[in-house]
């Protein structure tokens, strides 16, 4: 080894850390943690990701150690009975307990990480829970996400506290016994509140502060949204369609189920507003209703590139889609169906960057009115101005915090 200048001792190479990241859900849940892992690696460190089996190949293709955990989140096959669901809590404990070996910190993405904190506790490692929406954090300021089939209203402080108490009881009834059974297997003490144990006393909020500010009165680290940069070009057929006319309406609902006549309703509504349509097929298989040249359907494409070229984005209100549209400065029509989607719809309306429509009774007439409102010049101007306030470095900020948690 060469001598150090001025006789100083040679500087030892900084130890590379590895973070274990646990994620469950659909692509919208996994994509942000992949963005985080890429930033961790850019800082000279490494990550191991535990993800649903159908995302293992995608994550591994970016050069990470990818471990299957839980069940595949795929569109149900027509006419096929649902596959048996294993004990997902025990599966998380077993998978993460094996995957944590050689890691220096653990991060659980979303509140449904039943094992990650316990595994980190058993290993003596720093741990953090990150959520993607303020409504996931128990707070008097916001009501909890609704149960499937229910809608959501922000509520009032007293009422919100009652609703969070009911939500906490439901989480405990569903999971507390199994969590404590598995904690006992690790030699850990029982807990009394699954939800607050999972969320922790100081969670991270991986959401943009303009779109989704942290609830007041909570000790929350708001990093900004974790955006996966996508350099992929748009497919040639789509690019040609965009070049052939005025900016179209984008319609996409991701992994959400939809009534069978949704394609016709959105196409008719767009035509009533004099707009062409890009249909993102998604799990509902949205498709053109005729051979008209004013409509095209696409699979998974680069939303960042596409949204920059559309007049309005009609979508389900997923956290990732909402921030992508806001960042592009495009007006939005949000049709929420599940969980935090109602919260994001309320924020789009509150910020004046779009409107929302209810899935119940959704038809060409209601969509026509929603599109007309979203296409007003004032909404377009507000969406364009708001885009400048949307931060893009949330994953970088979170990666730096992780490294500091280990090295500090």
What local confidence, expressed as pLDDT, does residue 75 receive? 59
**79 and 192 share a domain?**
yes
**334 and 375 share a domain?**
yes
Distance CA 82, CA 154 (A): 34
- Contact (CB, 8 A) for 28 and 319: yes
The 10s digit of each residue's pLDDT in 116-125 is 999 999 999 9
> Is pTM beyond 0.75 here?
yes
Determine, yes or no, domain membership for 1.
no
What local confidence, expressed as pLDDT, does residue 5 receive? 40
**132 and 66 share a domain?**
yes
Domain count, the chain: 2
Distance CA 12, CA 224 (A): 34
The 10s digit of each residue's pLDDT in 208-255 is 999 999 999 899 999 999 999 989 999 999 999 999 999 999 999 988
What are the backbone angles phi and psi of residue 254, rounded to the nearest 5°? Answer: 55, -125
In the numeric block, which tokens belong to residue 75? 């569109």
What local confidence, expressed as pLDDT, does residue 133 receive? 97
**207 and 304 share a domain?**
no
The 10s digit of each residue's pLDDT in 173-209 is 999 999 999 999 999 999 999 999 999 999 999 999 9
Residues 6+ away with beta carbon under 8 Å from 184: 190
Query: Which of helix, strand or coil describes residue 166?
Result: helix
**326 and 205 share a domain?**
no
Domain carrying residue 135: 18-227+393-407
Determine, yes or no, domain membership for 9.
no
Strands (E), 179-309: 204-205, 221-222, 249-252, 277-280, 295-298
Determine, yes or no, domain membership for 122.
yes
**109 and 256 share a domain?**
no
Determine, yes or no, domain membership for 11.
no
**209 and 261 share a domain?**
no
**95 and 206 share a domain?**
yes
**179 and 271 share a domain?**
no
What local confidence, expressed as pLDDT, does residue 256 receive? 82
**185 and 71 share a domain?**
yes
CATH classification at residue 196: 3.40.50.2000
Hey, what's the torsion of the CAs at 301, 302, 303, 305, to 10 degrees? -130
**270 and 165 share a domain?**
no
- Residue segments in the chain with a per-residue pLDDT below the cut of 50: 1-13, 85
**166 and 244 share a domain?**
no
């Amino acid at each position: 080894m060469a001598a150090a200048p001025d006789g100083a001792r040679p500087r030892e190479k900084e130890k590379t850390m590895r973070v274990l990241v646990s994620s469950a859900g659909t692509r919208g849940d996994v994509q942000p943690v992949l963005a985080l892992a890429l930033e961790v690696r850019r800082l000279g460190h490494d990550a191991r990701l535990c993800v649903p089996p159908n995302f293992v190949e995608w994550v591994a293709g970016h050069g990470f150690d990818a471990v299957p955990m839980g069940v595949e989140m795929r569109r149900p096959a027509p006419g096929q009975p649902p596959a048996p669901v294993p004990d997902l809590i025990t599966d998380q404990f077993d998978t993460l307990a094996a995957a944590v070996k050689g890691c220096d910190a653990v991060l659980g993405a979303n509140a449904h990480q039943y094992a990650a904190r316990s595994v980190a506790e058993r290993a003596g490692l720093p741990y953090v829970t990150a959520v993607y929406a303020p409504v996931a954090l128990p707070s008097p300021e916001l009501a909890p996400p609704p149960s499937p089939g229910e809608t959501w209203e922000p509520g009032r402080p007293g009422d919100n506290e009652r609703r969070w108490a009911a939500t906490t009881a439901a989480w405990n009834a569903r999971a507390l016994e199994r969590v404590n059974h598995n904690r006992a297997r690790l030699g850990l003490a029982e807990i009394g509140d699954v939800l607050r144990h999972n969320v922790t006393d100081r969670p991270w909020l991986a959401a943009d502060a303009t779109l989704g500010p942290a609830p007041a009165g909570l000790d929350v680290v708001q990093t900004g949204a974790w955006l996966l940069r996508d350099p992929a070009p748009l497919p040639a057929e789509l690019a040609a369609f965009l070049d052939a006319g005025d900016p179209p309406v984008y319609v996409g609902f991701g992994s959400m189920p939809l009534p069978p006549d949704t394609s016709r309703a959105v196409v008719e509504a767009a035509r009533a507003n004099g707009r062409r349509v890009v249909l993102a097929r998604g799990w509902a298989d949205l498709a053109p209703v005729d051979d008209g040249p004013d409509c095209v359907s696409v699979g998974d494409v680069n939303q960042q590139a596409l949204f920059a070229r559309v007049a309005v984005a009609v979508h389900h209100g997923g956290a990732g889609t909402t921030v992508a549209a806001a960042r592009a400065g495009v007006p939005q029509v949000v049709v929420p169906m599940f969980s935090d989607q109602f919260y994001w719809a309320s924020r789009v309306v509150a910020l004046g960057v779009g409107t929302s429509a209810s899935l119940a009774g959704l038809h060409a007439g209601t969509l026509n009115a929603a599109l007309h409102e979203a296409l007003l010049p004032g909404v377009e101007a507000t969406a364009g101005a708001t885009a400048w306030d949307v931060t893009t470095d949330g994953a970088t900020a979170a990666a730096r915090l992780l490294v500091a948690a280990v090295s500090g």
